[in-house]
Structure 1
């Protein structure tokens, strides 16, 4: 069974982190830039999977230096979710479960991290992963997580995009357009131009599918 249609955008999971105001070339910014390269500039298939494997390995190296770092933990989850989307199939579910566990850990200890990005990413997982008996997907939990993300970061491109995309999948087109339009007009993230460019293309594609 191929579950790729339900997990392909998990990292779009996600990109999920909000803009940061850190010095240039910090570990976090390096990981964010690597994710964008893998997600938006690497061809689908083995090359994309390998790119995400390298991103995960690099994130783990940084986490070994600063254990329990919530920002890097969120990004480890994002990279695992993105690899799940690139791989597809039942094997992706274990990666999605690992990402879920990491995000729940951050929510329990530091929910404001990266403007609530753990909520955005976990909400995305809940609506992209298949539901019982195959996976843990749950649309009610997805909406709850995504709304919490918007409470923390109401103007952010990612929380608005993912909630809009969720609403689109639910057939709630009028609501979806509202949040997707907000995402399209979100303030740019100067330190993440590639992520913004890729996300806006995804927003345009989702808007194009709406009635």
Structure 2
């Protein structure tokens, strides 16, 4: 069984908790203050909080994100950030108890796409695509490899040079043994421009990229 299938079988065992941070915030309209606070707190929890504390912290942040979504009715960014927080919470919780959380996250991302598919540089496409390749398929969950590829590629069309769009597409490709494609996407992610105000998120994502590159490179050398 491939590592990808093993990960699906055990549900959310790591990648979900690092689910997509936002791309090129400087090019986007200013976030509502409540949503910006969620964004900043997410990075602090995901990258600076000890693992044993993260589930409780994400659970609290999910309540805050729900309040922000209610206060910003019809705001795609608020929906995207609630979905990101729920996905991260699911990654920490793990097991079947995470499935309800990712279903709520999927609904948030789908609603955000119906409002503004280009919001936050297409982050809803990338976030939803990541869910589709990480969540188990039927009858346990809604995972779908083909749907994942379609969504991830849609995210890349909106933000072709983005650090997150390329990172998650690379992770998808390496799960399928496309080492060359994954390496190319990871190198592009490393070359992505810095995101003003997102220094902690950028630093953490670049570490994620280096970890994945270390996994991919030996397969390139063996060919």
TM-score by length of 1: 0.93
Moved more, 189-198 or 74-83: 189-198
What's the CA shift string for 1:148-186, capped at 9, x where partnerless? Answer: 000000010000000011101111000000001000110
TM-aligned CA deviation for residue 109 of structure 1: 2.1
1:20 partnered with 2:25 = yes
User: How far off its partner does 1:85 sit?
Assistant: 0.2
CA root-mean-square deviation: 1.6
Residue 45 of structure 2, aligned match among 34, 38, 43: 38
Are residues 23 and 104 of structure 1, via their aligned partners in 2, closer, same or farther at CA, if it must alter by over 3 Å? closer
Q: Does 1:125 align with 2:124?
A: no
**Aligned residues of 1:127 and 1:166 also touching (Cα < 8 A):** yes
Q: Per-residue deviation at 1:74?
A: 0.2
- SS of 1:4's partner is coil
Q: How big is each residue's C-alpha offset from its partner over 1:82-110, in whole Å with a ceiling of 9 and x where there is no partner?
A: 00000000010110111011111111221
Identify which range, 144-153 or 106-115, moves more after superposition.
106-115
Alignment partners' CA distance in 1, 2:39 and 2:15 = 16
Residue equivalent to 1:75 = 81
Question: What are the ranges of 5 or more consecutive residues in structure 1 without an aligned counterpart?
Answer: none
Which runs of 5 or more structure 2 residues have no equivalent in the other structure?
A: 1-8
**Aligned counterparts of 2:19 and 2:116: Cα–Cα separation in 1:** 18
What are the within-5 Å matches in structure 2 for residues 99-138 of structure 1?
A: 99-138=105-144
CA separation of 1:143 and 1:62: change in aligned 2, threshold 3 A = same
CA distance in 2, matches of 1:144, 1:25: 30
- What is the aligned length? 207
From 62, 70, 85, give the equivalent of 2:68.
62
- Aligned-pair distance for 1:19? 2.7
> 2:75 touches 2:112 (CA, 8 Å); kept in 1?
no
The 8 Å contact of residues 52 and 83 in structure 1, kept in 2 or not, is answered as yes
Deviation (angstroms), 1:60? 2.0
TM-score, with length taken from structure 2? 0.88
Q: Distance in 1 between matches of 2:85 and 2:98?
A: 12
In structure 1, distance between residues paired with 2:155 and 2:116 = 13
Deviation per CA, 1:186-210, whole angstroms, max 9, x where unpaired?
A: 0011211111011011100111011
- CA shift, 1:132, in A, is 1.6
